[in-house]
């Protein structure tokens, strides 16, 4: 027996050496973003202070209080942004020549639905995945039966969207596999970053376009022994984004068009630029795949019964978010082309055919979504890749 002086010894607490397991995304991505952020607070994008007369906003108490009030909507779109970053990280590593455009789009869309935990209007895909090739600058996604295969010499624009409660991330990048296009991509990336840098509260949209144009046109690219000045595609623009409405009321030009309209506090913008080795002007061509219900519906009745039932599906499944034919196929809709055309003719649905420059030319695109917060600018979709 042992006598212990000074009372009984306190038992030492055993150290818990178990470390919390770090969540690691799978390949392909299958773990929802919410699993990485159990507190449901999602990371901020790139923060940029405003310039010149707006510098006071950073420390202004009233503006800071206003940001706290807006936290929920910022948190929603940051969740969408994190989904975009993780999905595109996988896509950029795995998209290779030899894949069909349908395989590419389904890879991106399946990842998006899973990571954002798609649930109707609460969360999901923001708009159809664009995978426009070469002289086609925008609004191409494959319809059923499209067997197009990605080639080593292609210039492919990947443009996809994610939404949470209607807060949409719209972000795009360009993929190439031949270094001959490097300067074309560098020009457009530099131009997009210029637009982001120039954006701010009370900045005139025309001034942003002038800055973008100056940078874009300072680049040249040599392809097939011929030198081209990179041209901004003057009839394509960036745009403001509203809740459940991908194209808001403001257009951000990529040339100097003298537009005096100003950016305003609270605005969300997709800053996107397109560069081309062609004319720098696009027109409609090829088979349409992109559609969207018109925001302000006409008072014209839908007389065709099949069109009426199709419109009910569109309204229920997509609302004002854009969709494509593949999404209707996925829902089990059949023999709907005549009804869809009828809805376009009556103005209930808008169609968005592919936009192309001259054949033989090459186009590139880069795009980010930002918000003009009361205290500073936040580039929501910024990542390590672009």
The reply to whether 272 sits in an annotated binding site is yes
Instruction: Note if 207 is an active site residue.
Output: no
Catalytic residue among 76, 109, 170, 267: 170
Is it true that the peptide bond before 28 is cis, omega within 30 degrees of 0?
yes
The reply to whether 247 sits in an annotated binding site is yes
Instruction: Note if 117 is an active site residue.
Output: no
Residue with tokens 């397991």: 21
The reply to whether 170 sits in an annotated binding site is yes
Q: Alpha-carbon Rg of the chain, whole angstroms?
A: 24
The reply to whether 139 sits in an annotated binding site is yes
Catalytic residue among 154, 190, 367, 378: 367
Number of residues written out for the chain: 386
Which of 256, 261, 236, 258 has the alpha carbon at shortest distance from 247? 236
Spacing of C-alpha 282 from chain mean position: 21
Paired tokens of 314 = 């569109």
Instruction: Note if 52 is an active site residue.
Output: no
Helix (H) / strand (E) element for 79: namely: helix 71-94
Instruction: Note if 272 is an active site residue.
Output: yes
Measure CA of the first residue to CA of the last residue in the chain; give whole Å. Answer: 72
Catalytic residue among 84, 163, 239, 348: 239
The reply to whether 367 sits in an annotated binding site is yes
The reply to whether 283 sits in an annotated binding site is no
d(C-alpha 84, C-alpha 162), whole Å: 7
What's the burial of 384, exposed, middle or buried (CB within 10 Å: 0-12/13-18/19+)? exposed
Instruction: Note if 259 is an active site residue.
Output: no
Spacing of C-alpha 219 from chain mean position: 25
Catalytic residue among 84, 135, 163, 247: 247
Helix (H) / strand (E) element for 206: namely: helix 205-216
Catalytic residue among 76, 154, 159, 378: 159
Catalytic residue among 272, 357, 368, 378: 272
Instruction: Note if 317 is an active site residue.
Output: no
Residues with catalytic function: 159, 170, 239, 247, 272, 367
Q: Annotated binding residues, as ranges?
A: 139, 159, 170, 239, 247, 272, 367
Binding residues for a divalent metal cation: 159, 170, 239, 272, 367
**Binding-site residues from annotation for substrate:** 139, 247
């Amino acid at each position: 027996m042992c006598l212990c002086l000074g009372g009984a010894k306190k038992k030492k607490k055993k150290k818990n050496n178990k470390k919390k397991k770090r969540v690691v995304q799978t390949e392909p991505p299958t773990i929802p973003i919410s699993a990485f952020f159990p507190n449901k607070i999602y990371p901020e994008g790139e923060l940029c202070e405003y310039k010149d007369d707006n510098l006071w906003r950073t420390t202004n108490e009233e503006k800071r209080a206003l940001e706290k009030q807006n936290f929920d909507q910022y948190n929603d779109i940051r969740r969408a942004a994190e989904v975009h970053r993780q999905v595109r990280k996988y896509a950029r590593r795995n998209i290779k020549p030899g894949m069909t455009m349908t395989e590419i789009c389904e890879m991106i869309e399946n990842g998006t639905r899973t990571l954002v935990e798609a649930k109707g209007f609460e969360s999901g895909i923001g708009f159809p995945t664009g995978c426009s090739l070469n002289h086609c600058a925008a609004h191409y996604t494959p319809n059923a039966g499209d067997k197009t295969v990605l080639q080593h010499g292609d210039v492919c624009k990947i443009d996809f969207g994610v939404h949470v409660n209607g807060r949409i991330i719209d972000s795009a990048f360009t993929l190439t596999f031949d270094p001959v296009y490097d300067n074309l991509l560098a020009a457009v990336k530099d131009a997009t970053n210029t637009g982001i840098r120039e954006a701010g509260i009370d900045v005139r949209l025309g001034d942003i376009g002038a800055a973008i144009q100056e940078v874009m046109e300072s680049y040249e690219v040599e392809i097939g022994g011929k030198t081209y000045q990179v041209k901004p595609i003057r009839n394509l623009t960036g745009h403001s984004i509203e809740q459940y409405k991908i194209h808001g009321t403001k257009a951000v030009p990529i040339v100097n068009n003298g537009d005096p309209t100003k950016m305003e506090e609270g605005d969300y913008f997709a800053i996107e630029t397109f560069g081309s080795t062609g004319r720098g002007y696009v027109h409609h061509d090829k088979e349409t795949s992109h559609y969207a219900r018109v925001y302000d519906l006409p008072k014209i009745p839908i007389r065709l019964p099949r069109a009426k039932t199709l419109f009910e599906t569109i309204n229920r499944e997509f609302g004002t978010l854009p969709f494509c034919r593949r999404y209707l196929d996925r829902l089990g809709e059949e023999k709907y082309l005549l009804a869809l055309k009828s809805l376009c003719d009556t103005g209930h649905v808008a169609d968005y055919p592919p936009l192309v420059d001259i054949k033989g030319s090459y186009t590139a695109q880069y795009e980010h979504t930002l918000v003009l917060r009361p205290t500073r600018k936040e580039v929501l979709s910024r990542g390590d890749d672009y």
